[in-house]
Structure 1
Amino acid sequence: MLALAVRKAFPGFRLEIALEVQEGEVLALLGPSGSGKSTLLKLVAGLLQPDAGSVRFGGLDLTSLPPERRKVGFLFQDYALFPHLTVAENIAFGLLEARWPKAAREERVKELLARMELTPHAGKRPQELSGGEQQRVALARALAPKPRLLLLDEPLGALDLRLREELLLFLRRTLREEGVTALLVTHDQEEAFLLAHRVALLREGRIVQVGRPEEVYAHPKDPWAARFLGHKNLLSPEESQALGLPPKAHLLPPKALSLGGPLEGVVEERLFFGPRVGLWVRLGGVRLYLEAQEGPREGERVGLHLDAFQVVTLEG
């Protein structure tokens, strides 16, 4: 288990985090730029020292150990591959450093080349590869020494949208197969939800909420968390009251609002996304968003159903 209880201060910013990651678990640190995600990762890796607190893994205190003695794998956003080495040599680099026997080293490299679908590229240099192939080489190199802990800093951030979608599931499958404990930093909720067993929301150096992706998305703690996770129907106490709800801040998750019902609204804006349609509807003076397979045109009146049992009360 990875156990963090650390504090680190910079001019104008203070990080204070207490967090546990179970063995074999992938935990995503999800937050906007400047929230402290990468700082926390560097504290775990030993690239920064905390002002106070400790970093413990598997019962060992890593706090005072230099990075090379922590036996932690690190996957950087820019991959940091060695341009003068081949794909196979890049993957083997950590094994040479760890003084693996030659036969075991060659077997592990062969295994990872096959798993990452890189066997035909074993003799190539990184600059001869596509972005997606480079990402797989970097992942293979990080996993090669079989680290008990893997740190991933925006691992898909340098890829275009098509490659990101293609490699998300590949990375998810690889992490599950390796069974490695992993700490993932990302600002992308889809990436966090698909890759992680649990998600920790960070804001200004503090943890706002931790839980399974489904729980965090369906029940955000406060308006900031709901907005950051992409929810659109955030109601002020006054708007809640206008819809017949108690005068508190509420979230209407997607399943709380649907077409067809006794409430009458007017479509103000219709957005066509191909497989679905987004509708901004005015209901009782409140502007609400919902999606459907197909929908009415702008200006049309529509019947709406509001399921009060699905409404989430927010803190603050």
Structure 2
Amino acid sequence: MLALSLEKSFPGFRLAVALEVQEGEVLALLGPSGSGKSTLLRLIAGLLSPDKGFVRFRDQDLTPLPPERRGVGFLFQDYALFPHLTVAENLAFGLVEARWPKAAREDRVEELLRRMELTPHARKRPQELSGGEQQRVALARALAPRPRLLLLDEPLGALDLRLREELLLFLRRTLRAEGITTLVVTHDQEEAFLLAGRVAVMREGRLVQVGRPEEVYTRPQDAWTARFLGHKNLLSPEESQALGLPPKPHLLPPQALGLGGPLRGKVEERLFFGARVGLWVRAKGVRLYLEAPAGPEEGTEVGLHLDPKRAVAFGG
């Protein structure tokens, strides 16, 4: 198990995080830019020294150890591949540094080339590869020495949308196959939810909420977390009361609202996304958002079903 309690201060910013990650677990650190996600990874890797605290892995205190002795694999957003080395040589670099025997080194490189679908590119230089291929090389190089702990800092952030979607499930399968305890930094909730078994939401150097993706999304800790996760139906006490809920702030997650029901409303905006339609509907003076496979046109009167049991109340 990875256990940490770390504090680090910079001018205008202070990080203080305590966290436990189970053996073989993939945990996503999710938060906006400037929340301290990458700083936390660098503290765990030993690239920064904490002002206070510790990092322990499998009952070993890593805090006093330099980065090269922590057994940690680190993948940066820019990949940092060696341009003068071939793909195979990039993969073997860490194994040479770790003094792996030549036969074991060659077997591991061949295994990763095959798993990452890079065998045809083994003799190419990084600059001859596409962005997606470079990403796979960087991931394979981080995995090559079989690190005890893997840290990924926005691993898909440098790719365009098409490549990100293509490689997201590939990365998910790879992390599960390797079974390495992994922390993934991302600001994208879809990446976090698909890659990780648990999500830790960060804000201004603090952990706001930690839990399984479904739990964090459907029952966010507060209104800030709900907004960050993309929820649109955040109701004021007055809006809640107008819809028949107690007069306090509420979140209506997607499961709480649907078409067809006694609550009457009018479609003000219809957004076509291809596989789904987004609808902004005004009901009892409250502007509500819902999605459906298909939906009525703008100006149409509709019935809505609101399930009060699925509404999430904030502020006690």
Q: Give ranges in structure 2 of 5+ residues lacking alignment.
A: none
Aligned to 1:76: 76
The match for 2:139 is 139
Question: Is 1:242 aligned to residue 242 of structure 2?
Answer: yes
| CA distance in 2 between partners of 1:89 and 1:315 (Å) | 56
Kept after mapping to 2: 8 A contact 1:251/1:313: yes
Pick which of 147-156 and 64-73 moved more.
64-73
1:218 maps to a residue whose letter is T
**Counterparts of 1:164-243 in structure 2 under 5 Å?**
164-243=164-243
Contact 1:31 1:203 in 2 (8 A): yes
User: What is the SS of the residue equivalent to 1:191?
Assistant: helix
How much has 1:315 moved relative to structure 2? 3.6
Question: What's the counterpart of residue 111 of structure 2?
Answer: 111
Aligned pairs for 1:1-316 (under 5 A) are: 1-315=1-315
Structure 1 consecutive aligned stretches of length 4 or more whose deviation exceeds 6 Å: none
Letter in 2 for 1:67: P
**Conserved? CA contact 1:221–1:315, under 8 Å:** no
Q: Matched residue of 2:169: which SS? A: helix
> Structure 1 residue 121: deviation in Å?
0.4
- Once the two structures are superposed, what CA deviation does each residue of 1:188-221 show, in whole Å capped at 9, x if it has no partner? 0000000001000000000000000011011101
Pairwise CA RMSD = 0.8
Q: What is the TM-score normalised by the length of structure 2?
A: 0.99
Q: CA–CA distance in 2 between the matches of 1:232 and 1:280?
A: 10
Bigger Cα displacement from structure 2, 201-210 vs 62-71: 62-71
Q: CA deviation at 1:299?
A: 1.3
Q: Give the aligned length.
A: 316
Offset at 1:292?
1.3
One-letter amino acid of the counterpart of residue 311, structure 1: A
- Structure 2 SS opposite 1:93: helix
Query: What code does the residue aligned with 1:97 have?
Result: E
Q: 1:275 offset after TM fit, Å?
A: 1.4
Secondary structure of the equivalent of 1:104? helix
Partner secondary structure for residue 127 of structure 2 = helix
Contact 1:220 1:314 in 2 (8 A): no
Look up the equivalent residue of 1:122 and give its one-letter code: A
Q: Which structure 1 residue ranges, 5 or more long, are not aligned?
A: none
Q: TM-score, normalised by structure 1?
A: 0.99
Give the letter for the 1:44 counterpart.
Answer: I
Deviation at 1:14, TM superposition (A): 0.3
- Once residues 274 and 135 of structure 2 are traced to their aligned partners in structure 1, the CA distance between those partners, rounded to angstroms, is 30
Identity of aligned residues (%): 82
1:255 CA displacement = 1.3
Structure 1 residue 20, shift from structure 2 partner: 0.5
User: What secondary structure does 1:53 align onto?
Assistant: strand
Bigger mean CA offset, 149-158 vs 302-311: 302-311
For the residues of structure 2 that align with 1:265 and 1:198, how far apart are their CA atoms? 37
Tell me the alpha carbon deviations over residues 101-150 of structure 1, each in whole angstroms, 9 at most, x when there is no partner: 00000000000000000001000000000000000000000000000100
Amino acid in the other structure paired with 2:163: L
Paired amino acid for 1:46 = G
Between the aligned partners of 1:78 and 1:175, the Cα distance in structure 2 is 19
Distance between the aligned counterparts of 1:10 and 1:315, measured in 2?
31
Aligned mates of 1:231, 1:8 — CA distance in 2? 31
What's the CA shift string for 1:170-194, capped at 9, x where partnerless? 0000000000000110000000000
Indicate if the aligned counterparts of 1:232 and 1:289 stay in contact, CA closer than 8 A.
yes
